[in-house]
Amino acid sequence: MIDLKTKLIGVEWQRKFFTKELLKTSKIKIRYLPYASVPQGVIIVGDRVATMM
């Protein structure tokens, strides 16, 4: 079994959705920003970063 650590950056208005839908069954750490300043679709794995548009 693979133990994949997942970290997300969300916007404050998404907190309720993430808490309800994601955190109840998974090992996800989420930090929130007061406004959207991060590009959509950023994936970081190890020392590699992918930005999806």
DSSP 38: S
Q: For the chain, what is the domain count?
A: 1
Whether residue 1 is contained in a domain is answered as: no
Pairing between strand 6-11 and 28-33?
parallel
Whether residue 33 is contained in a domain is answered as: yes
Of all helices (H) and strands (E), which one includes residue 33?
strand 28-33
Q: How far apart are CA 8 and CA 49, in angstroms?
A: 13
Mean pLDDT across 19-31: 74
Of all helices (H) and strands (E), which one includes residue 52?
none
> CB–CB of 10/3 below 8 Å?
no
Whether residue 24 is contained in a domain is answered as: yes
End-to-end CA distance of the chain, in Å? Answer: 31
Whether residue 22 is contained in a domain is answered as: yes
pTM: predicted TM-score of the whole model, two decimal places: 0.54
- Domain span at residue 28 reads 6-51
Confidence band of 30 (pLDDT split at 50, 70, 90): confident
